[in-house]
Amino acid sequence: MKLGAQQLADVVTLPAPRRYTHFVRQVAENGEVWGLYRDGWALAKTDDGTLVFAMWPASEFADLCAEFEWDGYEPQSFPLDDLMTDLLPQLEEDGVLPGIFYTPGERGLTPTIYMLRVDLERELNG
């Protein structure tokens, strides 16, 4: 599904908690998650230095950040199943937080891995 400029702008300007809800719904519906990749996945840091793995619900949202925060990175998708079974356990083991729906002007939410897993499972089973 290709997003129009107005739809993109409408979602990007939502407050972070509403973007998080949008992420959970879209990822559950589409079965895929988007990150930014260039010789490795794009990572950010919290104010205390904790690493954050950035994720988006669609390539267009990731691409907005590739032009600013992560110049040279390309949007790349991976299946929701991989997120749930492989990536989230690996992030937890490595002490990396999920970073949900960054925008060029604002950080995304950094829920606990448990919270993200529960919210996605609730949406999938809803």
pLDDT in tens, 47-80: 999 999 999 999 999 999 998 669 999 999 999 9
Query: Mind listing the domains of the chain with CATH numbers?
Result: 15-125 (3.40.1350.90)
Task: Answer whether residue 36 shows pLDDT above 60.
Answer: yes
Task: Answer whether residue 1 shows pLDDT above 60.
Answer: no
First to last CA, the chain: 22
Q: What is the 3-state secondary structure (H, E, C) of the chain?
A: CCCCHHHHHHHHCCCHHHHHHHHHHHHHHHCEEEEEECCCECEEECCCCCEEEEEECCHHHHHHHHCCCCCCCEEEEEEHHHHHHHHHHHHHHHCCEEEECCECCECCECCCHHHHHHHHHHHHHC
Task: Answer whether residue 122 shows pLDDT above 80.
Answer: yes
Q: What is the pLDDT of residue 31?
A: 98
> What mean pLDDT is predicted for residues 16-32?
97
Q: What is the pLDDT of residue 29?
A: 97
> What sign for the dihedral angle of Cα 106, 112, 117, 120?
negative
